C-alpha cells in the first residue's frame, strides 16, 4: 500500500518546473546554438566542396570537438585516416581556426558596427556558459 500523501507529493513534484530559465534566457540560448550550428554547417559545406577526402577528414575532425567520453584521440583519427598524428594535429588546428573565422563572420551579420563583434562574442560565450 502507498500512503495517499506520498502519492500526492510525487504527483506534485512531477509537475514542478525543472527549468527556471526566463524566456529571454531560453531565446538567447536558442540563438547561440543556432548560430553555432550555422557556423558548423558552413564549415562542413566548405570541406565537402573540396571533395570526398576532405569531407571524410571533416567528419573525423569534428569528433575531436566533442566533449563526449568516447571522443577519439588524435592518434586514433590519424590511424583511421592513414595520416600521421602531426598531420591530424595540423588539420585540426586549421579546422578550429577556420571555425573561428566563420563564427566572426556570422556574428558580423548580427551587429551594426565591426567594433561590436568582440562584445557580441563575449555575450555569446556568456550565454553558452549560463
Q: Give the closest residue to 46 by CA, choosing from 125, 105, 111, 107.
A: 105
Q: What is the pTM of this model?
A: 0.78
pLDDT tens for 87-122 read: 999 999 999 999 999 999 999 998 999 899 999 999
Amino acid at each position: 500500500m502507498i500512503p495517499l500523501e506520498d502519492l500526492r507529493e510525487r504527483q506534485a513534484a512531477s509537475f514542478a518546473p525543472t527549468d527556471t530559465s526566463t524566456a529571454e534566457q531560453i531565446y538567447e540560448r536558442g540563438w547561440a546554438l543556432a548560430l553555432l550550428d550555422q557556423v558548423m554547417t558552413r564549415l562542413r559545406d566548405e570541406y565537402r566542396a573540396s571533395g570526398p577526402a576532405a569531407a571524410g577528414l571533416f567528419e573525423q575532425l569534428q569528433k575531436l570537438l566533442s566533449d563526449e567520453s568516447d571522443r577519439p584521440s588524435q592518434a586514433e583519427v590519424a590511424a583511421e585516416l592513414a595520416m600521421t598524428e602531426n598531420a591530424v594535429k595540423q588539420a585540426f588546428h586549421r579546422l578550429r581556426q577556420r571555425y573561428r573565422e566563420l563564427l566572426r563572420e556570422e556574428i558580423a551579420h548580427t551587429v551594426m558596427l565591426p567594433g561590436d563583434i568582440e562584445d557580441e562574442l563575449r555575450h555569446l560565450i556568456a550565454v553558452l556558459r549560463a
